[in-house]
Amino acid sequence: METLVEKWQKFAEEYQPLVVKLLLAIALLTSILINVNLISPSEGWMFSAVLLALLLFSDQVGAIHKRLMRPPLQVFPSQQDPTYDTEMSSFLAEDKSKEAMLLEFSTVSVRFSLLQNLVNRGYRLRLLLCHPESAPNEYQRIRIEGNIRDLLSLRVSHPKPAGFEIRCYRQTAALRGRKFGKRLISVGWYTYGTQRIEKGDYPEEIKRMRRPQDIDGHYNVLINVDLSTDEGRALETMFDRVFEDLWTTATPIDEVDISDSHNRG
């Protein structure tokens, strides 16, 4: 059951701007009517309407301030940096676009944070992840197959499941990115090798499953760019081209066969 705070947040996100404009318009019209002596300035409802409009508008000031103060370009050492999740939560709290495109590898680094947040907020989503048959090793293939099961369950929890489209691309993972309407883009990339795994404190069985090469994504640098800037528009052009090329040939998640995954390997 929704709490009062959750109901207020939904109202603020969907209807508050319209209500504020309406109340301010009523206040303006009332002022004009008072000036031409058509109504009496003693009408108490006018004061109440103006007060309510100012109260609602004050709640928007914080979001406006955050947007103005947010740097147009932010560089995060990796997605492991907690400031990335904090920044994205702050952005989504005042984002009105309600549309997102995500280009991922396995979604393991975003499923329980960013992606869950987008689903809860009812975003229209297009998500691309790697097809398990294109994984660079056995370890990643098994991981992707498990994530596909979780994504199918997550899609069911979306307020409008048809607005959450998921496909699996077969090309080698290279670009990593998330685009939110015409507001913000996050861009990173995938790199390959086994140095981190070989030097890490992993059991030999896991190291063997992650050879001959493994993939890195959430340990790499991630860049957030405002799409209203020249840099943002340049990255958007590249991202849109890559995303649409992959989307056109990708396999819908419901057609990816993972039924016998436990019997392989």
Amino acid 90: pLDDT:
87
Amino acid 10: pLDDT:
57
* 3 state DSSP class of 77: coil
Q: Which residue has the higher pLDDT, 73 or 141?
A: 141
- Please give the Cα distance from 183 to 95 (Å, whole number): 8
- Please give the Cα distance from 126 to 99 (Å, whole number): 8
Stated as kind and residue range, the H or E segment containing 186 is strand 184-189
Q: Name residue 137's amino acid.
A: N
pLDDT tens across 11-40, in order? 555 555 666 666 666 666 766 776 677 666
Give the pair of three-digit tokens for residue 33.
Answer: 């009517």
Give the pair of three-digit tokens for residue 18.
Answer: 């319209």
pLDDT tens across 122-166, in order? 999 999 999 999 999 999 999 999 999 999 999 999 999 999 999
Give the pair of three-digit tokens for residue 138.
Answer: 């056995």
CATH number of 72-263: 3.30.870.10
Section 52-65 average pLDDT: 55
The predicted model scores a pTM of 0.74
**CA dihedral over 103, 104, 105, 107, signed as positive or negative:** negative
pLDDT reading at 113 higher than 70: yes
- Please give the Cα distance from 240 to 14 (Å, whole number): 27
* Every domain of the chain and the residues it spans: 4-67, 72-263
